[in-house]
């Protein structure tokens, strides 16, 4: 792997889990996901809680409602204030799912890992994405590349987190395909990547949809639904 100068910085995608996180717990139990946008200090409750802006998303209204209900009932959260529900218009997507709902949440900032990432030099460049009980953060690290592992180890030691580097590279130069794949939900990405790996898009095809469905232990109907939605998002400019 080539060295990256400190002037350019290093771009990383961190795939992680950490304890006592309401977002991780909710997405581990239910379909859909959460985008973590920004955190604001709240003037009414002192320094013990903050307000954060989030988006819950899913393929149906029911998935989103179930996810938000779980967040509201969590002992790790306080007040949830829902803002609006939006549907996928194919021209402007706020979140990977077909349905999304923005909300403000009052919570203990100690239950989110983004402030600690910032403290150790990892500046997030996009909303955090939580799906399937895991968090994904696109960050930029401007220090020495050789220090990255040490900083991550310190975060893990302080919090009990598990952090993997899912992607690393120099700042700039990310391909359009990678940006498009990032718009897929976890299920859509899993189906699409398996289809590519097994030769579904080769001519002639090297694998059938039935064989792909069997490998993922899902029905053919479900596989086709995920695959078609993935293809629609990837082809959308």
Same domain, 149 and 187: no
**Residue 99 sits in the same domain as residue 126:** no
Residues 24 and 106 in one domain: yes
Domain count, the chain: 3
Q: pTM here?
A: 0.69
How far, in Å, are 17, 83, 227 from residue 237 at the CA level? 32, 28, 18
pLDDT at 89 > cutoff 90: no
Task: Return the minimum-mean-pLDDT range out of 14-23, 40-49, 69-78, 114-123.
Answer: 40-49
Residue % of the chain over a pLDDT of 70: 81
Domain assignment present for 220? yes
Backbone angles phi, psi at 147, to 5 degrees: -90, -10
Give residue-wise pLDDT tens across range 185-223: 888 888 988 998 888 887 777 888 899 999 999 999 999
Average pLDDT in the 60-84 region?
Answer: 91
Which pLDDT score, from 0 to 100, does residue 180 have? Answer: 65
pLDDT given at position 206:
85
- Residue-wise pLDDT tens digits, 152-173: 999 999 999 999 998 888 665 5
The whole domain housing 225 covers 177-235
Could you give the 3-state DSSP secondary structure of residue 236? coil
Q: Check whether residue 76 and residue 148 sit in a common domain.
A: no
Is residue 5 included in any domain, yes or no? no
Note whether residue 208 is domain-resident.
yes
Domain end, chosen from 110, 133, 162, is at: 110
**Does residue 127 lie in a domain region?**
yes
* pLDDT bracket for residue 5 (50, 70, 90): very low
Window from 3-7, 50-54, 141-145, 194-198 with minimum mean pLDDT = 3-7
Question: Does 1 map to a domain?
Answer: no
Q: Is residue 4 part of a domain?
A: no
Same domain, 148 and 197: no
CATH number of the structural domain spanning residue 216: 1.10.10
Q: Are residues 4 and 10 in contact, defined by beta-carbon separation less than 8 angstroms?
A: yes
Do residue 168 and residue 217 come from a single domain?
no
Among residues 61, 82, 110, the one where a domain terminates is 110
In sequence order, the 6+-apart residues with CB closer than 8 A to the CB of 175 are none
| CB atoms near residue 153 (< 10 Å) | 11
- Do 42 and 101 fall into the same domain? yes
Average pLDDT of the chain, as a whole number: 82
- Whether 49 and 130 map to the same domain: the answer is no
Last residue of a domain, one of 63, 85, 110: 110
Answer whether residue 3 is part of any domain: no
CA distance 71 to 53: 13
- Are 30 and 90 found together in one domain? yes
Whether the predicted pLDDT of 92 surpasses 60: no
- Looking at the structure, tell me whether residues 69 and 150 fall in a common domain: no
The CATH number that applies at residue 97 is 3.30.1360
Residue 154 lies in a domain: yes
């Amino acid at each position: 792997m080539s060295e990256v100068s400190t002037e350019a910085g290093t771009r990383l995608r961190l795939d992680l889990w950490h304890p006592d996180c309401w977002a991780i717990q909710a997405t581990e139990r239910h379909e859909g996901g959460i985008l973590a946008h920004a955190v604001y200090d709240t003037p009414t409750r002192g320094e013990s809680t903050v307000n954060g802006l989030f988006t819950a998303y899913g393929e149906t209204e029911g998935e989103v409602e179930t996810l938000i209900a779980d967040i509201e009932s969590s002992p790790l959260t306080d007040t949830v204030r829902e803002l609006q529900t939006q549907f996928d218009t194919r021209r402007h997507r706020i979140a990977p799912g077909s349905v999304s709902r923005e909300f403000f949440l009052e919570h203990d900032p100690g239950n989110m890992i983004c402030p600690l990432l910032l403290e150790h030099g990892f500046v997030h460049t996009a909303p955090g994405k939580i799906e399937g009980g895991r968090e994904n953060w696109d960050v930029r690290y401007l220090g020495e590349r050789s220090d990255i592992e040490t900083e991550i180890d310190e975060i893990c030691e302080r919090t009990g987190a598990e952090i993997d580097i899912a992607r690393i590279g120099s700042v700039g130069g990310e391909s359009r395909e990678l940006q498009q794949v990032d718009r897929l939900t976890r299920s859509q990405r899993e189906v699409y990547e398996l289809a590519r790996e097994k030769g579904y898009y080769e001519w002639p095809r090297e694998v059938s949809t039935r064989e792909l469905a069997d490998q993922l232990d899902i029905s053919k109907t479900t596989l086709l639904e995920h695959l078609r939605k993935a293809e629609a998002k990837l082809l959308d400019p």
